[in-house]
Structure 1
């Protein structure tokens, strides 16, 4: 028996083809409640995949720490860039 086709709106982003991207984005919920629920779903998926596992490792925590370090470096990059051009006599 053949599987029934999944509507574009219910597909994940990685399963959407480039030609279907506009329709998929148009079907998203951009209200405040929709954005909050999508962030909550993303957090739950991350937590269940990397943190809440039977045989856990340091992978999920290390990824979170690496992301924090990268974001903090990007926020202070302008200050660091100006320090590079200073001449010390």
Structure 2
């Protein structure tokens, strides 16, 4: 998050885009999320609510095609 707009192309070029690099990046993001929102001294419901909201949104996106056809179906 400390990358300035002018440094963005150089920063993107320095990233590891191999499958292993992408997995390490996702694991790092997941670990930062857990450290920031879940493993805190005074925990709240914020981190769990964010994970639940994300799950609901992803489930809706995955099932949108099926839901769209149900909406257009005529019952008579």
How far does the alpha carbon of each residue in 1:29-80 deviate from its partner, in whole angstroms, 9 at most, with x for none? 1122222221121111101100000000111111101100100001111111
Rounded Cα–Cα distance in structure 2 between residues aligned with 1:35 and 1:87: 45
> Is 1:42–2:34 an aligned residue pair?
no
Rounded Cα–Cα distance in structure 2 between residues aligned with 1:40 and 1:81: 34
Structure 1 length normalisation: TM-score? 0.76
> Is 1:17–2:4 an aligned residue pair?
yes
Number of equivalences: 76
Larger radius of gyration: 1
Structure 1 regions of 5+ residues with no counterpart? Answer: 1-13
Q: RCO greater where, 1 or 2, for CA within 8 Å and sep 6 or more?
A: 1
Rounded Cα–Cα distance in structure 2 between residues aligned with 1:17 and 1:83: 46
